[in-house]
Structure 1
Amino acid sequence: MSVKIALTLLCLLPLSANAGVYKWVDANGQTHFGDRPPAKAASSEVTVKASPASVDAGARERHQKMTEFLEQQQEEREARQAAGAKAEEKAEKQAELCRKLRARLKHLASVSTFYNINDQGERVYVNEAENTRIREDFRKKVRSTCGNE
């Protein structure tokens, strides 16, 4: 952005030539100025002081609007990048969760029967209908979370 500002300021400054300015008086007494000294007359080099460039209010306002626009564009770009990074992080977490759920679903398929632990700490095996319901409930959970098995 600083390059654009520098270029804008450069355009606003007057360009001064490196060639010298010469002053001489001709035979009729008229004073002349030129970038080359005359061959037949005595001349002296004159230092020309360029007045500073004046920037009108309209140019200043356009420059301010351009600067504000560029800053707004930068802020919006940074906001989009931050939102993209956040969405990517969320997608990675979702993918990891689905990987774990699918691994657990695969493990459930290999288990022949499920059990609960009663108050005495003993295993109480569930019946076949309950086994099927547990597997189907978990499949539904994986589908709703990950979209498919």
Structure 2
Amino acid sequence: MNRKILVFSILMAATPGLAADSSVYKWTDDNGVTHFGDRQPTGKKAEQLNVRSGTSRNTSSNRATPQERLSQLEEQQQASAERKKETALEEANRKQREANCKTAKANLKVISSNARIRVEENGEQRYLSPEEIDEQREKFEAFAEENCGPAQGGNAEK
């Protein structure tokens, strides 16, 4: 009797190990019906299921070829390089806007604080008329507004 219990215990202990070693395949037929089986179907893509962990892995018929993996990697690298290039361009544009904003603010400060502004034209110096000063102020304000707007994060000083 003890011998029967011992054999029965060994068989019960070995059964889960045997079941874990067997493969279960999952595939879908032409009608959209999902099937499960212990043998991989011929001519169909099947997914091998790991019964013990509940995860699955694709069989060799679904794996990408080395050429496909290389082409995917090249596409990813090209996309990454384009993003870096765009970021560098955006950074350069931002720095140029900052410099333009600073210059426009300085010009507005000068034109607002001086009653008389002297300019040089054709080798001769002359003073701007009040109308010309107002024209210049409007140009500097528009330039400051364009370069110091929301993308810059500041407002034009008057």
Q: Output the TM-score relative to the length of structure 1.
A: 0.49
Which has the higher Rg, Structure 1 or Structure 2? 1
Q: Output the TM-score relative to the length of structure 2.
A: 0.46
